[in-house]
Structure 1
């Protein structure tokens, strides 16, 4: 998929939900609710022993949403990046700045988002071809770090992940600092409620977050 199209879609949306679960049917339902609520970029996170099997089936299921970009997160190894790429991941995200994974993605033309917590890591990610950098863990480095990064590397796009909350105060602090989008996982998804079949809270959280973000980006 064209890198510019991925970047434009992520930035335009402003929100990337990060979800993981071992149950495929539950994950399908979450994807449906997310899409219906306005999500067009979705990360399935590689944290379960059957994550690859779930992702492969989810990717096939997601074909009914031709404008949805579905990627994989928590990738640490080149071998993982390779097999998820072959399974159709539209993008690959890591929690760390992994030069071997970055080089692999660069040579294969894969949209790669490394996780960075220092200026050096952000600079390295940019040099290795990443056009979007994940600031992680966001709740540790904070919005002030985003401002510091952009003061010396103003032409990089940043996504804050880790501790980002679905409320106006928290989102305002990130977007005012200069992020182009945010990733939200546990703050967005009440897994126990989802396992009981209650998706209303998720729908509300996503819709409210998207509305807040679009207003902040005006």
Structure 2
């Protein structure tokens, strides 16, 4: 999938499931549950041990699989070589941007300030992750779009089924969601993850 197609898919789908597992097996189960429930844009975080095994498990999947919690250029290249179709980090890194641009892979860095956002835009980032979004309110997007009307923001961290539409209505191009899947898995296993995913998909833009 080409870079513009990946970006368009993220914008069209609106929901990105951020998957953090205590093991590759757990992350695979969480990912399968999210996909079955209707969320097909997946961010596999590098906090999951041996996460490359999870990438391998979904190499032939129709889902859009990206890498999250990427902290340096070496990890970005590792993710891309293992099939990541987009790369996400908690903060902006020029070095990661260079690697992603080299391979024509979308890079979504975490930004909280106008200065960070401008730096990321200058480095070729098309979608910026507002992280942690729990520190802000949806009105922040409108404020940012005053001086930066072209910026595209994906809030992550503190997003849930009850507030995600507030963010999207405020101008977010997509939202990152995750902790609900881990809680669902802990409480009810695979089927609970599927149900949580369906709830998000069902509540989207109601």
Q: Report the TM-score when normalising by structure 1.
A: 0.87
Q: What's the counterpart of residue 57 of structure 1?
A: 53
1:129 is paired with a residue of what secondary structure?
coil
Structure 1: state its 5+ residue gaps: none
**Residue aligning to 1:204:** 195
Unaligned stretches of 5+ residues in structure 2: none
| 1:47-196 equivalence runs, <5 A | 47-48=47-48, 50=49, 53=50, 55-65=51-61, 67-167=62-162, 170-190=163-183, 194-195=185-186
Equivalent-residue separation in structure 2 for 1:214 and 1:201 (angstroms): 22
Is the CA contact 1:69–1:90 (under 8 Å) kept in the aligned structure 2?
yes
CA distance in 2, matches of 1:149, 1:196: 38
Matches of residues 17-28 of structure 1 in structure 2 within 5 Å? 17-28=17-28
CA RMSD of aligned residues (A): 1.8
Check the 8 A contact 2:10/2:16 in 1, yes or no: yes
CA distance in 2, matches of 1:56, 1:113: 20
Secondary structure in 1 matching 2:65: strand
Counterpart CA distance in 2 for 1:109 and 1:31 is 25
- Distance verdict in 2 for CA 1:142–1:113, change over 3 Å: same
**Bigger CA drift: 105-114 or 5-14?**
105-114
Matched-pair contact (CA < 8 Å) for 1:136–1:161: yes
Residues 1:64 and 1:99: Cα distance change in structure 2 (over 3 Å): closer
Q: Alpha carbons of 1:197 and 1:64: their partners in 2 closer, same or farther (altered >3 Å)?
A: farther
1:151 positional shift: 2.2
Give the SS at the match of 1:75: coil
How much does 1:107 deviate? 2.6
Structure 1 residue ranges, 4+ long, deviating more than 3 angstroms after superposition: none
1:155-210: CA deviations, max 9, x gaps? 2221000101122xx123211211011001213431xx525762233222211211
* Contact 2:33 2:190 (C-alpha < 8 Å) held by counterparts: yes
Higher relative helix content: 1
Aligned length, in residue pairs: 206
